[in-house]
Structure 1
Amino acid sequence: MYKNLEHLLQEQKNVKVIESSIEYTDYVSLDLSSSQTDKLDLNLTDAAIFEEFIENHLSKNNAKVAFGGYMEPRNLYRRSTVFKNEITDERNIHIGLDLWIKAGTAVLAALDGTMHSFQNNTALGDYGPTIILEHSIENVTFYTLYGHLSLESISNKEVGMSVKKGEIIAKLGSAPINGDYAPHLHFQIIKDIQDKIGDYPGVCSKNEVPFYLENCPDPNFLLKIQ
């Protein structure tokens, strides 16, 4: 029987993409939608202030990781021309899952696969160092993207090298390296990578939502964070 990717992702068990010793019971959701950050009057342009906000949120909830953001409309990207210029519509809808925790935290391969590509995306508000893995389950090929890594994470890597589920492939980067954000992992699932190398859109415009909903399914199909 043919299974679509979403079904195959849901069948996978015990998947983590950051520090394996942290249980999902130690995660707490985080709403960074435009309406919420406007209400909080949160300064989204200062990475240090934003990191303090994350740490306070974790402390208040007795948690170790904050997560969320799939298909969330955000104001977080307005500071950068990467997401809006005279030609393009504003891209402000997040199409991955963010996992907020300190720089230096281990990043794990979600599943067995191979190194598709890696690159340092250096523009303000971009991913910084980024890794993309290629996977195949029951002859269905797809990709996972890991953004906002440390610079060391993309050294000594080779395209085509094998990786195992749960293997440490990177560490999270700090603000000067990771696109100028509070430290976090942007994790995204991609069906058709097209011709992209070491990069793939992680934010889309309102008009692009139908395409990216189909091409980038909810990462929580795979992770199953409650």
Structure 2
Amino acid sequence: MPSSPFQQLTQIVELIRLTDPQNLLDIGVGFGKYGVLSREYLEINSGNLDRNSWQRRIDGIEGFQSYLNPLHEYVYDHVYVGDAAQLVPTLPYRYDLALVIDILEHFDYTSGCKLIVDLRKISRNVLVGTPKEWVDQGAIFGNRMEEHKFRWERKHFGDFGAHCFIPNEFSLICFIGEDAPMIEQRVLSLKRGIKRNFPYLLPMKRRIERYLSNTRQAHPVDSDH
């Protein structure tokens, strides 16, 4: 669907802020959520409220034109319509960050790997988010690109160079690229700080994780961008 789970929003937005991209590419824009959040936290929080004062370039790719609405025209500098696998090698810009959020599961392994490799050629970093749990899904909304084709796991990201994983209960979040060591250090520092300063939170965290895991098993949630 042109949507994705809210449980990963905090991590995704924080990674966008840490990367602080001047040029961002959103693969599979869907409803436009990550374009909106990127504008808000990269532009408006810096005082650039008026669209004419925006300093960042945010482009997108959408394979299903019916998903597009006036929001996309306002938020994105440009949205390319078509198959990302074919469009990415032809794009005229270089980016600091490419978002591949709840998109990779719609590619088979070989095609998905090629997409990431092609993105690394035009983008300093690639941020991937994909569901941890497999959900069978065919074409919906008349969109064959909604089919789920492959379940991605940590072991599948070893050939893309520097990368790190960001903890999330529902999504496998992988940051790939030149800034991965910095991101990993920030994540490790945060985890150490929590363990050192708030040790009493750890038992609570485990209980919450068990509850969420049981809830997810009882009520599977589809998660597409």
TM-score where L is the length of structure 2: 0.29
Larger strand share, 1 or 2: 1
Greater length-normalized contact order (CA 8 Å, ≥ 6 residues apart) = 1
**The structure with more radius of gyration:** 2
TM-score where L is the length of structure 1: 0.29
